Structure 1
Amino acid sequence: MLEVLTATGLATAAGLNAGLPLLLLGAAARWTSLVELPVGWTWLEQDWVLVVLAVLVVLDVVADKVPGLDHLNDLVQTVVRPTSGGLAFGAGVGATTAAVPEPTALAGSGVGLPVALGVVLALVVHLTKALARPVVTAATLGVGGPVVSTAEDVTSLALGVAALLAPVLVVVLLVGVVVAVVRLLRHRPPRRSRPDVLDGPAAP
């Protein structure tokens, strides 16, 4: 069960920042004893892959904080983040970590099901993020976008670290994210009513 939480945390983190959870997973496997990747996923700890992931993280972090460019970035990431989420779930569910010494869940399902689950999780998170961002932009006249983006990066990092070290915390973090999104959408600014041109000019 814990390995499912590990994979879920990594996949949902990818919905916020595509490269960050994979970079954490690969770096932890490459340079620490905290993670051992399953057979077929060891390519994630190769140096060139880690460099590509690091560049992807930097591009995502920077582009997501520039007004106007952030919306274009979300459009491009509609493909990248779900793909990353599928890879993160597929690798994470079979990885040996400090919290999961013997992963067993979904072990007999092959690669397809875990990757598909990860794609769906990351896509849901990404779409929620993309839909919420215009609300933030409208409510704060564009000022809140970089602040929210930074919070998303921190959340992605927290989910990735929790997934590898304490998967139970993934549940707590996800509940917090859901509550924050619901509160944000409830407090979105009301639409301005369009003036009725048929009423004519107001009486003096």
Structure 2
Amino acid sequence: MLELLTGLGLASASGLNAYVPLLALGLLGRFTDVVTLPAGWAWLENPWLLIVLGVLCVVDVVADKIPAVDSVNDVVQTLVRPASGGIVFASGVGTETVAVSDPGAMFADGRWIPVVIGVVVALVVHLTKAGVRPVANVATAGVSAPVLSTVEDATSLSLVAAAILLPVLVLVLLGGVVGAGVVLLRRRRRSRAVARPRSAPR
């Protein structure tokens, strides 16, 4: 069960920022004993890959804070974030961490299943993020872009930390993300209803 929560937290984090969970797994696996990646995912510890991921992460973080550019970035990331989610979910359920000491058995027979689950989880989170952002930008004349982006980055980092150190917290954090998404979507519907012109009386 903890393996599943670890993968779920990492994949959800990928839906917000594709590179944060990849970097976290790679860096922690290479330089600490907190994470021990399964053999099939040890390539995440490659130093050149970590450098590339670091550069891409900086670009993504900056672009996501600029109004209009953030929406273009979301379009580009529609393929990247789900792919990242598939990788980190599959590697996460087979990763030994301080919270998970016996990983991997639950998905051992169907290795493609965790990848698909991770892709779907990350895609759902990404589509929610990509749908909310343009509405928030229009409603606040772009002022909300850096604020929302910073909150999303912090949430992604928190999900990764919870997934690795205390997977049960993933459920609490995801509950907060879902709640925030529902509130924003309701506001979007209300703003559309207010903006819709009333039919002229006959």
Provide TM-score, normalisation by structure 1.
0.92
**Alignment match, 2:137:** 137
**Alignment match, 1:36:** 36
The number of aligned residues is 199
Q: Answer whether contact 1:18 1:56 (CA < 8 A) is retained.
A: no
In 1, Cα distance between equivalents of 2:69 and 2:142: 12
**Alignment match, 1:17:** 17
SS of the aligned residue for 1:76 comes to helix
**Alignment match, 1:2:** 2
SS of the aligned residue for 2:108 comes to helix
Q: Answer whether contact 2:95 2:104 (CA < 8 A) is retained.
A: no
Q: AA paired with 2:116?
A: A
- C-alpha displacement of 1:110: 3.4
Q: Which runs of 5+ in 1 are unaligned?
A: 200-204
Cα deviation digits, residues 30-63 of structure 1 (max 9, x gap):
0000110012100001101111111121111011
| Correspondence list, 1:36-185, <5 A | 36-185=36-185
Q: Which runs of 5+ in 2 are unaligned?
A: none
Does 2:195 match 1:192?
yes
- C-alpha displacement of 1:108: 2.0
**Alignment match, 1:202:** none
In 2, Cα distance between equivalents of 1:104 and 1:38: 9
SS of the aligned residue for 2:99 comes to coil
Displaced runs of 4+ in structure 1, greater than 6 A?
A: none
In 2, Cα distance between equivalents of 1:175 and 1:196: 39
Cα deviation digits, residues 142-189 of structure 1 (max 9, x gap):
111110011000000000011010000000000000011111111232
Q: Answer whether contact 2:26 2:50 (CA < 8 A) is retained.
A: yes
Q: How much identity, in percent, do the aligned residues show? A: 58
In 1, Cα distance between equivalents of 2:50 and 2:108: 28
Q: AA paired with 1:193?
A: R
Q: Answer whether contact 1:3 1:105 (CA < 8 A) is retained.
A: no
Q: Answer whether contact 2:136 2:142 (CA < 8 A) is retained.
A: yes
In 2, Cα distance between equivalents of 1:27 and 1:20: 10
- C-alpha displacement of 1:13: 0.2
Larger Rg: 1
In 2, Cα distance between equivalents of 1:195 and 1:171: 42
- C-alpha displacement of 1:105: 4.3
- C-alpha displacement of 1:106: 2.7
SS of the aligned residue for 1:167 comes to coil
Q: Which has the higher helix share?
A: 2
In 1, Cα distance between equivalents of 2:18 and 2:197: 40
